[in-house]
Structure 1
Amino acid sequence: MRLSELLDLPVFNGASLVAGNQGIEREVNTVNMMDAPDIIHFLKKNELLVTTAFHFKDDLHSLLHLIKEMEKQDCSGLGIKTKRFLDQIPDEAVSLANELQLPLLELPIQTSLGDIVNKSLSHILDIRTNELHNAMQTHQQFTNHIMSGQGINKILESLSSLIHLPVVLLNHHLRPAVNNFNQPSIFEHLETLITSGHHLHFSKTTISTFSLLNETRDTITLFPVYSHKQYSYLCILGFIPLSDRSTFLTVEQATNVIAFELMKENALKQNRRRIENEFFTNFINGSFSTNEEIISRGKEFGLLNEQRYVCAVGKLDITEKNISFMQYQSEQELIYDKIESELQLFHQKIHLFTTDHSYILLMQLKGGWKDIEQPFFSLLETLQTKIAIHCQEELSFGISNYAQQLIHIPISYKEATDALYYGNMSGKKKFIEIYQPKEVPEILRMVPYEHLIKFYSDTFQAFANDPNKDHQILLQTLSVYLETHCHLAETAKRLYVHRNTVIYRLEKCEEIIGRSLKEADETLRLRLAFRIKALIQGNSTLDHKSKEMKSSNI
């Protein structure tokens, strides 16, 4: 209780405050009587000391030293009984107490110091007992809300009603964790404000009070709520003085009950997350036997088949870090939570999965891709920035073309991972890469070289076996014919021959191959073979030049 309240007790009738009036609102937790000159060594914070001043009747220096030490120990005040050993409190002591703002009381001679101590302590004890009783009732009230299934929102409503101040629960990203507050703009810059170092006194583990840099200069008080290895915060919109023990105890009961409820919710969340990730992993690995099974299972997680999706796959850029497995798991959990928190603010639904150390974002595409492309890119850039700030990691993304249906998502996932792969291969860091369909030469280079050689040899083996010495001319004619999309007149024009000559040569090609050039599969096979021929000749040229360079160096 405050000193001003304690002085209202009848036992202090006749006492007067002679100095330190500015400290009259100091907290008093205990009252002690000075019975030895070495009391300085036993002083306690928030302690009111009363004395007859017997030890200071001829020693002003010791009295001044006591006042200085009491201020250092943050004591509540000093009461001196006058007219017994001291006729009056020395002016020097009054002046020093005023300077230090330490309350200095003059106690009347008829008042017993024992009565002051006993009745004061009895009154303080009664208050503490009442506070404890109220705290137990409050804790039971909050617990009943949880047991009856009313949840955290009901606790926040009850707490707000009890302390007459708005209350909101913030997650560890300092954003509203439940939808019980209709002014989210107050917290828009809170995370940035604190993490950027503007509030150097902010601590995750202790109560913090400060003003926001908004138009109304709102004062908020944060109470840490520790659960599942991280802190949430019970945010009170208003200033709570440290002397208001009743309010502090009420809020502490709320934080205790909320902490247990958050632990329960986190356990359920982790289990659901595991099930979701198992589904997605089985989905992209082709573990489901039918499309009907995929569609049915997808509905469990809010995924609809008749819905277009864009897939983005994020992965941390490879860095050498010497950390334990538990530290790695904790870091991955922090990154997941940060991504999840940001996705909740996006205006379109995005599903989040993890597999193979990757973070998969499935965005439902309502309109055209061009309408959402820039906002989606901005979201990914925000994620990269937040991960860099909070986790000191660089995150890169690959983005797919959109899937027309749910069952096509594995293809989109492959496109996104390919985009991520080629971005890494090009030496980029912290990038966002959109999947681009590969050109034919790029696709062919992805096939093992020996397989290309075999395909080329098998395709043109019939020409090699033909005794006709003019098969190179036939192949040239066939190549130009395919390049001109099977247009006879254009082929003749490019070869400077008559149209009938082209027809004759193509008929000879059909005889050698044994199949008609009007068959689409055959023309596709021949087109690929000619493309492979160009790659093989290009590689042979490079190998020849390489050998020449080595010879010259020798």
Structure 2
Amino acid sequence: MISNQILQNTIEGLKSITRIDLGVMDTDGKTLATTFPEPGDYENAVLSFVESPAESQVIQGYQFFKIYDEHQLEYILIANGGSEDVYMVGKIAAFQIQNLLVAYKERFDKDNFIKNLLLDNLLLVDIYNRAKKLHIDTEVKRDIFIVETSRERDVSALDSLRSVLGGKGKDFITAVDEKNIIVVKELGPGDGYPEMDKTAHEILDLLKAEGEENIRIAYGTIVNDIKEVSKSYKEAKLALDVGKIFFDEKEVIAYSALGIGRLIYQLPIPLCKMFIREIFEGKSPDEFDEETLTTINKFFENSLNVSETSRQLYIHRNTLVYRLDKLQKSTGLDLRVFEDAITFKIALMVVKYMKYMETLEY
């Protein structure tokens, strides 16, 4: 259904061109939009016209027109004056609103289809049949972006994205819950993940310019058929969740960049606790002091390179070796040995995952 604001903008635009006042009423005579200086009492005249078989009629110096949504009478348009010129303007206005009804209904049908497609609510045969009826290409490359803002039901963010991306090709911008905005992006033949990352940052910059805060954007893998859109959506959703745990410093995260974090996220908490207990004998790797944790993280960042790590920490190589030896004595793991380093890195991620899941319980 067209909003009253859209109706108001439409008739105000027509008045600015024609200098003729217009009004749009519902079938009960209630005013939805008007350019008349003073509100008029048209209820009885509208009700009488609704019952009349005429499609247009002059009543008390005003032109009345019927506007249909398919075969259902939806609006009554009033034009100020009974002349032929006013009649022509009224017909043009009625035609314009009629086309708006068709356009908005088509957009609603497409929006409804895309939502059900994302949520995997459609049978395979229904996907292709409905896509054909809605003139949506089924065999093009697409990717799914999920945009999370700090506000629920963020209509302004949704409208901003629609205004910028909605007119580009055949992209779709919708929402399936109160928290996230979903962008179904159609890709060109040569587009790949660099273009996806660029688009994500463009969306990020746009929303920041609009005053949005705490924005997180995630996107799934590129799919080549419309039936796989729900797969990309699930991947983007997983990327958004996993990114909050292991990549909390990143505002944009791709499913393909989740690495081992994607596997850890799917582990049951009891199994995680058992793993930590067996590896560290009841201790937790995040109980180390700040100096030790900094050393460990920098050592991992530099791919277990002792010389580079000591240089970046501004400490002597022997000091770093001493810290690693000390860590080996307390944990039984030598971070200079690849297998032990992997075990320790996974343990740190598992602890981070468990702590995040604990915050969701409160």
Q: TM-score if structure 1 supplies the norm length?
A: 0.31
Q: TM-score if structure 2 supplies the norm length?
A: 0.45
Larger radius of gyration: 1
